[in-house]
Structure 1
Amino acid sequence: MRHTHTRRTSSLALAASALGLTLSAPNVWANEAAERLTERLDPLESYHATFEQKILGGSGERLQSAHGEMWLSRPGMLRWEVEAPYSQVVVSDGSDVYLYDPDLEQVTIQAMDNRVSHTPALLLSGSAADLTSSYDVFYEQEDGGDIFTLIPSSADTLFEELSMVFNGQTLTELWMMDSTGQRTAITFSNITRNGNIDRSLFDFDIPQGTDVIRETF
């Protein structure tokens, strides 16, 4: 059971994983990059998409693939459903984050403190001002897309580098690298930006018989 749990743990880790792009630039350029990123994120009120995700090891080998659907509403609300290879759900109601594994009949609850809210998907649900004050932001264009790379100014984060790829005003990819060298790429499709999302999607009712674990950092 422990081996199975290790292989399948943590939708939050799935939501939090992505491949980072290393860029270097002087501070004045970083400031301009932060302004450009703010211009894209400030108008974002909601976001709905399907996603494909690949987790890669330090040498580039594929460790895991997944696909699913996500809904985001600012401020602070997220629903992230992994459909395959294993069913997992992450729900944030703005106060707590619920990580639910229906096969294990287990839900882990974490408060929306700084560490949890700094996972990539939840970063998008926060304010652009908080984001750009907590990270050094760098910018480049590649293949017609705008790439913003975020380097945390604090060590208390779940990633070392995070990149957001935009096509115009629309986020199309997330890439991240964590401290172990593990990298993840998330590609979004069927995107609806600033559409109507049912608020009840961000309420999580714990199914009867589910084991509940409340974590604190």
Structure 2
Amino acid sequence: MRHTKTQRSFSFALAASALGFIAAPQAWANEAAERLTERLDPLETYEAEFDQQILGSGGERLQQVQGEMWLSRPGMLRWEVDAPYSQTVVSNGEEVYLFDPDLEQVTVQGLDNRVTYTPALLLSGSAGELTDSFDVFYEQEEGDDIFTLIPVSPDTLFEELSMTFNGETLTELWMTDSTGQRTAIRFSAISQNTPIDDERFRFDIPDGVDVIREQAP
């Protein structure tokens, strides 16, 4: 099954909803960034199953997929979406590979340009880099801690990204783009800070596929 360009771009994107935040005092924003850093700094590895939904600007469901992810900081990620929308994103810490078997295509990009593929890779970097690149806002809802990130630079795939933590565990990621399309990802069977073999983050390009190498801007 072939995907539209928009569907391919957001197959791995992590979802967001417009939470209606207004400008906050700088001291409050700094406190939110510190709270997020406290959650992310101890995170060394993360493994989970996920359910992902892509929603149109009117709230209609455009796509729903399931898959698994493995993350090891710094910089390594494997993100696999199950059939019928099978796709794989792999970062080995230096390059990111996006494999679309339906298109028989692999796109390779430097890690610095990683957000083009999936904001999940934001989690693989340092917390300091994350809070330097985004304005961070914080609220509590039904016992969960919710962090909303607004990009400082306009050259990003999304306009808002939110992370939901239950205690110390990341349970949801939300994203919205400039058209109002939203992607929601909910994690289950979560394991944090357990060893993951580095081979999980190796990607061998299959024979016979087109390879596109994109240069960072």
Q: What are the equivalent positions in structure 2 for 1:46-195 lying under 5 Å apart?
A: 46-114=45-113, 116=115, 119-195=118-194
1:200 aligned counterpart, secondary structure: helix
- Shift, 1:84, TM fit: 3.0
Does residue 16 of the first structure (1) align with residue 13 of the second (2)? yes
State the shift of 1:106 in Å: 1.4
Match of 2:40 in 1: 41
**Normalising to structure 1: TM-score of the pair?**
0.93
Distance (whole Å) between structure 2 residues aligned to residue 60 and residue 175 of structure 1? 14
Change (3 A) 1:101 1:114: closer
TM-score (normalised: structure 2): 0.93
In the alignment, structure 1 segments of 5+ residues that lack a partner are none
SS in structure 2 at match of 1:173: strand
Kindly tell me the number of residue pairs found equivalent between the two proteins.
214
Q: The residue matched to 1:148 in structure 2 has which SS?
A: strand
1:103 deviates by: 3.0
Q: Whole-Å Cα distance in 2 between the matches of residues 207 and 150 of structure 1?
A: 36
Q: CA deviation at 1:161?
A: 0.6
RMSD, matched Cα: 1.8
SS in 2 for 1:109: strand
Name the CA distance, whole Å, in 1 between partners of 2:212 and 2:57: 31
Letter in 1 for 2:208: G
List structure 1 segments (4+ residues) > 4 angstroms apart after TM superposition.
none
Offset at residue 7 of structure 1 (A): 6.6
